[in-house]
Amino acid sequence: MTALLEVEDLRVAYGKIEAVKGISFSVEAGQIVTLIGTNGAGKTTTLRTLSGLLKPLSGKVTFDGRPLGGTPAHKIVAMGLAHSPEGRHIFPRLTISDNLRLGAYLRDDKDGIEKDIQRAYDLFPILGERRKQAAGTLSGGEQQMLAMGRALMSKPKLLMLDEPSMGLSPIMMQKIMETISELKSQGTTILLVEQNAQAALSLADHGHVMEIGKVVLSGTGQDLLHDESVRKAYLGED
């Protein structure tokens, strides 16, 4: 089986500082794959490169059977690879409804867009209740829901989520993780970057541990969740 996303020997630098040092991994259709690691490990840089926001030094990225080398970010979105970024980056002065519509800026199927807006409201009822409210008035957790909903509006084959639980209360974090599981059950393939290693690995089919720009350990989510070195380093256990 050919993976939906294949990353081979990817290297990325900021100036002379190499942030990603030759990593390789794949994501099969229908899976949740997670990248875990501390700040500075290269996780966010990896996602920004896959979405076309950064240019790699070298390596090969193949999505849905097509190489992504040199493809502009908007065309990568059109191919079916969506990115919900760290920090959410919603448009605070626009309404929730308008933020969602911006996620569909490459589409012209009006009926389909309306249907997917309703899907976002079904996933996140609070957004539907406040659809005419300025997005900047939402709580951090609600803004995360909006960022995820906006990314889904492009009808992605693969959804990349960067630190979706960052800064959220435990209850809101649980809600976000439950939604990620629900998206998988609906057929969405997900590449998840998450500092909460326990939550991420509990959801993931496969995981990769990154340290200083390299993948140092890979396995199923359950195997990594029970790996002694992972438990000590990332789960706070002695």
**pLDDT (tens digit per residue) in 171-215:** 888 888 998 999 999 899 999 998 889 999 999 999 999 999 999
Q: How much is the average pLDDT of 137-146?
A: 90
220, pLDDT greater than 60:
yes
Strand runs labelled E in the chain:
5-14, 17-27, 32-36, 58-63, 66-67, 81-84, 158-162, 189-193, 206-211, 214-220
- Percent helix, percent strand, percent coil in the chain, to nearest 5: 40, 25, 35
Task: Give 157-179 pLDDT, tens digit per residue.
Answer: 999 999 988 888 888 888 889 98
Average pLDDT value over all residues in the chain = 92
pLDDT at 108: 87
pLDDT at 236: 65
Spatial contact of 13 and 19, defined as CB atoms under 8 Å apart:
yes
pTM of the full predicted structure? 0.91
Report residue 106's pLDDT band, with 50, 70 and 90 as the boundaries. confident
Q: Which residue has the higher pLDDT, 238 or 5?
A: 5
Q: Which residue has the higher pLDDT, 57 or 38?
A: 57
Residues paired with 214 in a beta bridge: 211
Q: Is the dihedral of CA 90, 36, 176, 31 positive or negative?
A: positive
pLDDT at 141: 86
Domain boundaries, the chain: 5-90+156-234
At the fourth CATH level, which superfamily is domain 5-90+156-234? P-loop containing nucleotide triphosphate hydrolases (3.40.50.300)
